[in-house]
Amino acid sequence: MRFFLLAAILCAGGWQQAATAQMNSVPVASEPQHHLIFQNEYARAYYVEVPAHQATLLHQHDYPYMAVALGPADIINAVQGKPEAHLTLTDGQVIYSKGGFAHIARANTGLSFRNITVEFLYPQGEAHNRCTRVIPDKPAADCPSYDPGLLKGPPPLASIKPLFETDEVRVLSGVLAGDGEWFDDKPGRPARLLLVLDQSSLSVVAPGQPAKTMKTGQVLWLPAGATLKVRNLESLTTSAFVLIAFKDSVERK
């Protein structure tokens, strides 16, 4: 009887320790499913992969951030102190948050959960939607005509549209047809961060650099004023990317 009583006490103690450990969040940089792939004074980017039926540690988001889904996902978002939320994400879906919370992301089905998470290291101010409802409690604005730059390739050439913006950043999405190209060579461009989306293969040319082949989950920093040429290396399928423009980078240059 004493053995079973001791075992029960030890088990109860173990559960209590596990529950206590779960309440202690780790910084994003220390969460093992978040792999740092880029950082500078403006942003930090992480490649995130949570295998099917597994979960991240409880981790803290201290900065505003956005995440872009790489492939579809079915997840449980467990924010500390709130009820769990079930999220179904589509490939390329963008999420934005002001941060200031801790959560666990759990891959709820046989699908892994992959994304690129970008933390913004400056206060972002107000956020509002452009062509897509990224900010859930605000409507999407009328999608204005947008000068997509110089496009080459068979029709349809490309879809370039603004998704949302804050006081500090403007976020665009781009989809290139097979063998399609997009040139962004207007002067006075702010610094930008290019994110390559799922099942995409791009050739990217920036000033002073040879053409660089980029694949799913990779990112590239373009300094203020840099021109950009992006070409889809796939002939039969589209390739997609997200471009984050840092509005005040020209003044900070």
Q: Are 237 and 179 in contact (CB under 8 A)?
A: no
Q: Are 117 and 80 in contact (CB under 8 A)?
A: no
Q: Which helix (H) or strand (E) holds 42?
A: none
pLDDT score, position 144: 58
The pLDDT tens digits for 123-176 are 999 999 999 999 988 888 767 555 455 555 555 577 889 999 999 999 999 999
Judge whether residue 27 has pLDDT over 50: yes
> Quick one: which of 243, 246, 45, 247 has its CA closest to 158?
243
pTM recorded for the entire structure: 0.85
Superfamily of domain 25-120: Jelly Rolls (2.60.120.10)
Residues with Cβ within 8 Å of residue 219, at least 6 apart in sequence: 37, 38, 45, 116, 193, 194, 195, 196
Q: Tokens at residue 184, please?
A: 């962004």
158: Cα within 13 Å, side-chain hemisphere:
27
- The CATH class for the domain spanning 127-252 reads mainly beta
pLDDT band, residue 186 (cuts 50/70/90): confident
Residue 210: asked if its preceding bond is cis (omega within 30°), the reply is no
Domain boundaries, the chain: 25-120, 127-252
pLDDT score, position 140: 84
Same CATH fold assignment for domains 25-120 and 127-252: yes
Q: Are 216 and 202 in contact (CB under 8 A)?
A: no
Share of the chain above pLDDT 90, in %: 70
48 bridge partner residues? 34, 115
- Mean of pLDDT over the chain: 86
Residues with Cβ within 8 Å of residue 252, at least 6 apart in sequence: 224
Judge whether residue 19 has pLDDT over 80: no
